Structure 1
Amino acid sequence: MKKIRIVCIFVILGTFTFSCKKNFLDKAPGVDVTENTIFSSPTQLETYIASMYRHGIHHGFCTDDKSLTESISLDISAGATDEGEYAVAWLTSQYWNSASITASDIVNLEDYRFYLRWTAIRICNIMMERIGEVPGLQESYREQVIAEAKFVRALNYFEMLKRYGGVPIVNKRFQLSEELKISRNTIEECVNFIVNDCTEAAGALPPTYPSTMRGRVTKGAALMLKSKALLYAASPLFNTATPYMPLGENNKLICYGNYDANRWKLAADAAKAVLDWAPSGNCKLIDDKGVDVNYKYEWSTNDNEEIILANKSFGTRYPWDIPWAVMKPNTIANPGWGGLQATFNLVRKYEKKDGTPQTWNANGGNDLFKKYDELDPRFKQTIAYHNSYWNVETPVFNCIGNSIGHWMHKLIPSDLHNGAAQIPSWQLFRLAEAYLNYAEALNEAEGPVDAAYDAVNKIRRRSGMPDLPKGLSKDDFRKRVHNERDIELAFEDHRFWDIRRWKIAEEDGVMKGNFWGLKLATIPASSEIHYEPYIFEVRSFLPKMYLHPFILWEVNKGYLVQNPGW
């Protein structure tokens, strides 16, 4: 088998690259910080724990955190899916939409944290190796920190698994004098490694922390990551005898090499474990604010009870700062750099409040506001539509003549406006996802049993939507749960990965084919709006894009098996 050379020079140097911001290590004048310094006292250890989180806890949302890397991610993955379309042509999403992304630019265009992940993994391995040397450290806290390190290591491996398939497993700190040519491990080996780290971490992590320690991983976070890893492992991209493209003798680097229905059972059990943990972690669905508010409250209110884990490394950001500058529409006060438009492909997925499909006239109609009022309440809590409220600066949002008909409002607080900075709510895990993971996996393992219905219906009820109809077939239930994920998790960096793990990217209007918007026009002497569906773009998707390419200059070193087609 071919080999991969781990870029240890980046990892070794990166281990002691800390931010100068508060809560991270500031080097005192004339003091050299070494590993021995870090593990010389509990106080010094805390700086290393902070660095482990800073390097290792992240999300797919955009950030301008250039203190760790010169590369930045400016847009969210929604713009490369049927969720959205960026209003400018130069953002990363457009490379996916035109199928022009290459192995030379993958790091700068999507996976800008590739090298940082290896830094994070090395920090975790050093932590586990040397924490026993810290004097005066309570044994229970030592075990907790080891568990946190295992979680962070597992998270970084999961982020690579879903992008690349099998990657090299590094479970110890390497020295430059050691053999650094490490083979890619198989999908099965990587999944088992992630699951084992999560299982061990969950056994030593507390169910919750005091409010002053928000952002540190809990038992629930470890269980949630295990749930996600097993869900991806059970999904069609990996759980198959035939990979999406052949890789010869290396097929097991990109799939299991067989289909096993029990993988869905394991995923269901793991998701159920998250739901069982939730009460002890003071975690619950937000369902007490009203059906027209519950959903927005969850995504717009930091530190709410539904959040299992959030990235807490970012402070307040003004409207002209990243991430808001990239997300905000260029049509409002304090315009952004383009903004993310919501496609009609997404809007059509919203059911009516009675649970039936909304009917949209293919030739257009004169009842747009009526149709909006009939939709699932989550529509108005997610999408900026014509005449909707944006904020105090733009109380009436205009979509006529300047967009494809809709814009993303979710993720952008209404309280964000000129002079009013807000803290991004960068959520990695929330409880609603665990319910959806459970419903999907249980249906695949056992069919649409009552417990699967109950899980998805809890999500629907809190937004005022009726239960799914009884008697659905396994295939029909799958479609309904997939659609529920599309609505509930919209713009949260799920859709891009769900599309690939389900292997549906080549279906029309998903990541390929026709993408639709609405042309809007006023109607003389009427309070209604005329709408007309139209195709604003035809996108491309190549089968090789189901997994990322490894960076070209790493492949050219001769030790790395490139993913097929690249």
Structure 2
Amino acid sequence: MSSCEEEFLEKPNTSGTVDLNEVYSSAINARNALMNCYRSVLVQGWPSGIGIGHGALASISGIHSKGYNWHGTWVISDSGLSPNPLDGNDSGGADNFGNNWNVIRKCFLVKENIDMVPDMDENTKTIIKAECTGLIAYRYMGMFYRYGGVPIVTKSLTSNDDLNIARASLQETLDYTLQLCEEAIAGLPSEWPADQTGRLTKGAVMAMKARVLMYAARPLFNSTTPYLSYDHNELISFGTADQDRWQDAISANEKVLEWAQLNGFELINSGGSSGEPNPNAFKDYATATSTPGNKEVILAYKYDETNQWNNYLSYYLNYSPYWTANRWDTDNLGLLSNFLSNYYREDGTDQSWPQVGDDAARPASDWLARIDAMEPRFKADHIGPGFDAANNPGDFNYSVEGWGRSLGNYGAQFPSGSGFGKGSGFSVKFFYQAGSRTWFEPPLFRLAETYLNLAEAYNEVGNSSQALSNLNVVHNRAGLPAITETNQGALRKIIQREKAIEFYMENQRYYDVKHWMLEDIGDGIIGGQMREMQFEVEPTASNKNLASSLIYYWDSNAYIAYWNPKMFLEPIPQSEVNKGIIVQNPGY
């Protein structure tokens, strides 16, 4: 990235030594305040932007192991979400409730004071106001599907304002979020100069609107009765099951596609014709998820920070030797067998993995053959025992000096396990051709989501033809043959599986499975038995990660994760509830 782009999200002075008059005395100071809003708002859901101090959402959604016993994810896996403080943050939930209001206030302060700037033209001021509105909408979108109804704040509050603001209903929260989106869309440009990519566009906020409407249509909220008995049903349920909510979602997502086609954004598919597997699937998927500024990403969090001791994005999501060789905190976050089974073989069929209770272990040659036969997305996403990361040759591989640790569950004897945490491999998803780069830009909205949203919504209204058309855009790009299933229930599961694979480690699974109210959510997804592959190796091998060191492998029960229906939504911090204004979500 160029120096201009590195400076784009440079953190401004927040020491408290400046006042509003100074901040808005010049355009450069005001833009710094705006960039601080971006930096604070868009991190929501990623490590350092969630309510737990250690870990990532993958460790509490049946994707990766729960980590180490000092991780918040370990505690949540063991005993569930809690309204009480955990891991140094405001609650034992997966979101920092109080932080939402801090960053929303930052955005309102910029929006309300930008007119003071003497050396800024009116058009620029209007656009910045729209950016602030869009950033506020982003946090309200996130709170909507995390908590349900939340307090509605329409300005930067002062000590003279009435701060006793109760939670609004679910419908009122949705309406306010949509209002913010529409206001932002009206004032934003469709594109920015190359050195300012990462700022909100019309399309980015249209994608926000589309996502929030998807959550409004899914079963958790779109129901006549809430998920638990409650005295405040209006906060967590619409009280009706209305098919028109799916139509609203279809309309919003179709508009995102229309905008994308007019503004140079598209799903990256350099080799596939309509309905046929893409022969360049590995490169195209890896580019879409890893390359900064690619044409599939509508909005990314452009936090290009190289100091890994402060950047938890890389701390928990970058398993390159440049990081984990000197740290021990990320090497216990391996891929669970529970999630491994979602990936297809490269021919589109299901892979046959070992099962707990098998009569015998399988030879390592079987493991390596099955890994070799996996679909391109798996190979772009992982590095594991016996195989290197295909997405960053020469940098993510076991021969690089400094890995210094086993990346598999080694030393076991069938059928027992040697512990858990290492799993079937680690994620390298966001580092295609990254070389030694340790930072990455989290993709917040990719066009693949829009297509899969449309597949889901069209299926729910009974239009299997349109559902399949949109699903296969993504499935074929992944190098897989077209899906032809038309039964609504069966197709629903296929679409949900596609979403799980395509958005592995992109922070969608944790919320998707809740709002879909999956039947097995407590039986191997968020809760229930978690499983990991175990490996027997040559005891004298100097490098136990090499294929030549592996002897046998098998699946093993690792630990049981906690699930309770109260966890469909996040808890409000008890410290807030104790004030007597905001009521708690049910079950906490």
TM-score class, shorter: 0.7 to 0.9
Query: 2:346 maps to which residue?
Result: 353
The answer for unaligned runs of 5 or more in structure 1 is 1-19
1:428 has 2:444 as partner: yes
Query: 2:536 maps to which residue?
Result: 521
Query: 1:261 maps to which residue?
Result: 243
Q: Is the 8 A contact 1:353 1:466 kept in 2?
A: no
1:365 has 2:362 as partner: yes
| Superposed counterparts of 1:348-427, under 5 Å | 348-362=341-355, 363=358, 364-366=361-363, 367-390=366-389, 392=395, 394-395=397-398, 399=408, 401=410, 404-411=422-429, 413=431, 420-427=436-443
Query: 1:61 maps to which residue?
Result: 46
1:232 has 2:235 as partner: no
Q: Deviation at 1:153?
A: 0.7
Query: 1:4 maps to which residue?
Result: none
| Matched position secondary structure for 1:292 | helix
Q: Which sits farther off after the overlay, 271-280 or 215-224?
A: 271-280
Residue of 303, 307, 316 corresponding to 1:313: 303
1:557 has 2:585 as partner: no
1:456 has 2:438 as partner: no
Q: Is the 8 A contact 2:243 2:461 kept in 1?
A: yes
| Matched position secondary structure for 1:286 | coil
Whole-angstrom distance in 1 between the partners of 2:509 and 2:267 = 21
Q: Is the 8 A contact 1:291 1:462 kept in 2?
A: yes
Whole-angstrom distance in 2 between the partners of 1:413 and 1:334 = 19
Q: Which sits farther off after the overlay, 272-281 or 214-223?
A: 272-281
Whole-angstrom distance in 2 between the partners of 1:490 and 1:563 = 28
Q: Deviation at 1:165?
A: 0.9
Query: 1:15 maps to which residue?
Result: none
- Superposition TM-score, scaled by structure 2 size: 0.83
Q: Is the 8 A contact 2:170 2:237 kept in 1?
A: yes
1:437 has 2:437 as partner: no
Query: 2:27 maps to which residue?
Result: 42
Query: 1:542 maps to which residue?
Result: 564
Query: 2:329 maps to which residue?
Result: 337
Q: Deviation at 1:22?
A: 8.1
| Superposed counterparts of 1:427-506, under 5 Å | 427-449=443-465, 451-469=466-484, 471-504=485-518, 506=521
Q: Deviation at 1:92?
A: 1.7
| Matched position secondary structure for 1:304 | coil
Whole-angstrom distance in 2 between the partners of 1:47 and 1:368 = 52
Q: Deviations over 1:208-267 (max 9, x none)?
A: 11111021111111011001100111111111111111212x101011111111111111
Query: 2:189 maps to which residue?
Result: 206
| Matched position secondary structure for 1:201 | helix
Q: Deviation at 1:333?
A: 3.8
The answer for unaligned runs of 5 or more in structure 2 is 1-6, 272-279, 400-405, 412-420, 540-546
Q: Deviation at 1:541?
A: 0.4
- Superposition TM-score, scaled by structure 1 size: 0.86
Q: Deviations over 1:326-382 (max 9, x none)?
A: 345699744441332101111111122222222234325332222222222211111
Whole-angstrom distance in 1 between the partners of 2:320 and 2:350 = 32
Q: Is the 8 A contact 1:344 1:516 kept in 2?
A: yes
1:322 has 2:312 as partner: yes
Q: Deviations over 1:19-69 (max 9, x none)?
A: x998444499xx963223333443332122122223322232213x8xxx9
Q: Deviations over 1:448-490 (max 9, x none)?
A: 12x2212111111222111112x42111111000000110001
Whole-angstrom distance in 2 between the partners of 1:126 and 1:114 = 20
Q: Which sits farther off after the overlay, 374-383 or 311-320?
A: 311-320
Residue of 18, 21, 28 corresponding to 1:33: 18
What amino acid sits opposite 2:27 in the alignment? P
Query: 2:84 maps to which residue?
Result: 104
Distance 1:314 1:117, change over 3 A: farther
| Superposed counterparts of 1:17-28, under 5 Å | 23-26=10-13
Distance 1:103 1:87, change over 3 A: closer
| Matched position secondary structure for 2:107 | helix
- In the alignment of these two chains, the number of paired residues is 534
Q: Deviation at 1:85?
A: 0.5
Q: Is the 8 A contact 1:73 1:108 kept in 2?
A: no
Q: Is the 8 A contact 2:134 2:181 kept in 1?
A: yes
Distance 1:110 1:426, change over 3 A: farther
Whole-angstrom distance in 1 between the partners of 2:533 and 2:438 = 31
Whole-angstrom distance in 1 between the partners of 2:233 and 2:463 = 29
Whole-angstrom distance in 2 between the partners of 1:379 and 1:434 = 21
Query: 1:246 maps to which residue?
Result: 229
| Percent of pairs with identical residues | 29
Q: Which sits farther off after the overlay, 369-378 or 235-244?
A: 369-378
Q: Is the 8 A contact 2:84 2:92 kept in 1?
A: no
1:163 has 2:185 as partner: no
Residue of 176, 181, 193 corresponding to 2:159: 176
